Structure 1
Amino acid sequence: MALFKCDACHHFQETSNDYIGKNARCPKCKENGTIFNTLSYIKEITENNISLKKKLLEIDKIKEIGTSETNDDMIKVYDPIPIDDFDIHNTDIFSQKDHYAPIIKWFKEKYIQANVNPKMMDTTGFFDEVAIYMGNNFNTIGSIVNQIRYIQNKKYDTVKISLSKNNNKEIEQILEFCKMLHHYSFIARYNFQKKDKIIYLTLQSIPKIKNFFNGLWMEWFVLIQIISFFKEKNITLPIIRGVDITFQNQDKNELDIFFINNQGEPVCIECKTGEFRQDLNKYFSLQKKLNIKKENFLLCVFGLEEEQAKGLTSMYEITLVNESTLMNHLESLF
């Protein structure tokens, strides 16, 4: 880890090695500071301390001088460090091991093994762009996504979509969606028969594409929404997607989105669409095992009515949101 040192208030904090030599704004006093190579900085401080100690020994002629010891676990902070601007759709900042190390440590302190695939946070591909469009227009294209998933699971490669019940604005959005899928090679081709208002899609058989439509797109949508919020606030915080965890009793779970907010509190988000009620007890049990506060354990159900989300939240020890209310709730946790 690199070391951030504020030139004004002398606040210290660990950050990623990627930012060594860069300037950053202090999360405490908002003044500028510098990010150093930790080993080089410690070496310099150590050499200065040794030199000072020798001088004191010569002056006072004593063998031991009480010095304040460094606690190895002292730096356990999650204050946001503002960094240089980055493109949320083309960055591997959040896939760096140094970045999500505090999350691994959080699980380790609870005797939980966490396995992270760094590629799950790398946004240099096109999954995130497509996922954002899907989430922002879910009311219109949600049924299209469900049809694609259904046909894929049936192992067919052609989807026939009737738009006879859609108005012109909805048809325009759906066509734009199909054009985007074809542009980014999520589908092999599409054909719109304007007279009959029917679209034919030829699907890809690539496993990553299948998994994307099978539910991973929701994780991408939530991840990018949170990263966008980080960018807006000019902060970076530890965040991971698709982490596999193993409890002491060998129970295993996969968490969709997990991050630590600027208060040092864990936040877990699970994503669902369609039928979710049979999984409520599973999520409630997971929330208890992780010992995460109710407001910090979210089940984001795409397409869920807001009133229903509020009612279920009052009934269960987890918080239910939909794709539209997700960020309003998350922002309240900062």
Structure 2
Amino acid sequence: MRHCRHHRSKKTKLTKPSPLQDVNLHNTSLLATAEQHASLQAWFVSRQIEAQFDFSHVDTSGFFDDAARMIGKGYALFAELMDRVRFAYRKSHSWVNLELVNLPQKDAQAINTLCRQLYSHTFFARYHYQKPEKIVRLTLQTALTVRQFFEGGWLEWYAFIELIELAQKRGVNFSCARGVKVVFPNEDLHELDVVCLPAGQPPICIECKSGEFRRDIDKYLRLRKRLGMDRHHFVICASDLTQEQAAGLTAMYELTFVNLEMLAPHLTTLM
């Protein structure tokens, strides 16, 4: 792809992204370094934008990325669980009961397995399965990081892993970040959910929405233009969109809308 050289400041030298082709991206703290973020930092500086990174946001040595992958790959089945947990947190409830008796046996087993795996990774404080009644009883974890995960952080982790795994698979060096705070010259502050800068290519930005997003469309249109990114590289990943809805919104606005199933195929067209 063409590199956007006409936007580059003559005083700014973009550093080469560090090679990560042979790294296990699901179990490394190598991403959580200033060196790994350096190319993105330089790209923002070249546009007179201050970028503030929290390196811990890309540390995959914990279980957040693994849990997000499990949820994302089976989201059609797990969506109700996620909605129930998110609703419980919002209403300050401490527990969730899932009745699986009316589900096909295979689906019930998959949901129960996910709940047990999430519990084993401490995403729930307690887990109990009443086998005769086919009821899963979950006690919510009070840790803020876990609450943030269920309230939407899981989708950021899912998009992040999909993006950097694709770059790695394509043999592309890259610089990546999550939760980037960007400050424009007029001091406007915005946060970017997921950003990846493949070597020799324009950056890719993914904004993740597990809830309502329609009121934010105009904000994203302005943000895309201020970043100088084309519509294909500025992606709104909304978990509850159908493919028809995503295609319709993409046709209406100068943004790219995808759901979880459409994310990887679209990213493949960019690298």
2:270 aligned partner, one-letter code: L
SS in 1 for 2:31: helix
Aligned pair 1:178/2:115, yes or no?
Answer: yes
The farther-off stretch of 316-325 and 158-167 is 158-167
The farther-off stretch of 291-300 and 246-255 is 246-255
* Superposition pairs of residues 187-206 of structure 1, within 5 angstroms: 187-206=124-143
What's the counterpart of residue 3 of structure 2? none
Quote how far apart the aligned CAs of 1:163 are.
2.3
* Superposition pairs of residues 1-334 of structure 1, within 5 angstroms: 76=14, 78=16, 85-334=22-271
In structure 2, C-alpha distance between the alignment counterparts of 1:110 and 1:216, rounded to whole Å: 28
SS in 2 for 1:200: strand
Q: String of CA shifts for 1:20-79, please: whole Å, max 9, x gaps.
A: xxxxxxxxxxxxxxxxxxxxxxxxxxxxxxxxxxxxxxxxxxxxxxxxxxxx9696365x
CA contact (8 A) 1:77 1:264 kept: no
Q: CA 1:285–1:84 in structure 2 vs 1: closer, same or farther (change >3 Å)?
A: closer
Quote how far apart the aligned CAs of 1:330 are.
0.9
SS in 2 for 1:161: strand
CA contact (8 A) 2:14 2:42 kept: no
CA contact (8 A) 1:261 1:333 kept: no
In structure 2, C-alpha distance between the alignment counterparts of 1:105 and 1:195, rounded to whole Å: 59
In structure 2, C-alpha distance between the alignment counterparts of 1:198 and 1:164, rounded to whole Å: 7
Q: String of CA shifts for 1:131-160, please: whole Å, max 9, x gaps.
A: 100100110011101111111122221112
In structure 2, C-alpha distance between the alignment counterparts of 1:74 and 1:157, rounded to whole Å: 51
Q: CA 1:233–1:264 in structure 2 vs 1: closer, same or farther (change >3 Å)?
A: closer
1:196 aligned partner, one-letter code: E
1:210 aligned partner, one-letter code: R
In structure 1, C-alpha distance between the alignment counterparts of 2:260 and 2:192, rounded to whole Å: 18
CA contact (8 A) 1:128 1:221 kept: yes
SS in 2 for 1:281: helix
In structure 2, C-alpha distance between the alignment counterparts of 1:143 and 1:124, rounded to whole Å: 28
CA contact (8 A) 1:158 1:202 kept: yes
In structure 2, C-alpha distance between the alignment counterparts of 1:157 and 1:241, rounded to whole Å: 29
What percentage of aligned pairs have identical amino acids? 35
What's the counterpart of residue 14 of structure 1? none
2:181 aligned partner, one-letter code: D
1:182 aligned partner, one-letter code: Y
1:309 aligned partner, one-letter code: A
In structure 2, C-alpha distance between the alignment counterparts of 1:84 and 1:274, rounded to whole Å: 34
2:72 aligned partner, one-letter code: G
Q: CA 1:233–1:82 in structure 2 vs 1: closer, same or farther (change >3 Å)?
A: farther
Q: Which runs of 5+ in 1 are unaligned?
A: 1-71
1:124 aligned partner, one-letter code: S
Q: CA 1:243–1:83 in structure 2 vs 1: closer, same or farther (change >3 Å)?
A: closer
In structure 2, C-alpha distance between the alignment counterparts of 1:196 and 1:293, rounded to whole Å: 53
Normalized against structure 2, the TM-score is what?
0.90
In structure 1, C-alpha distance between the alignment counterparts of 2:142 and 2:12, rounded to whole Å: 50
Quote how far apart the aligned CAs of 1:222 are.
1.0
- Tell me the C-alpha RMSD between the 2 structures: 1.9
Normalized against structure 1, the TM-score is what?
0.74
How many residue pairs were aligned?
262
SS in 2 for 1:192: strand
CA contact (8 A) 2:15 2:38 kept: no
What's the counterpart of residue 69 of structure 1? none
Quote how far apart the aligned CAs of 1:240 are.
0.6
2:14 aligned partner, one-letter code: K
In structure 1, C-alpha distance between the alignment counterparts of 2:58 and 2:38, rounded to whole Å: 14
In structure 2, C-alpha distance between the alignment counterparts of 1:204 and 1:129, rounded to whole Å: 18
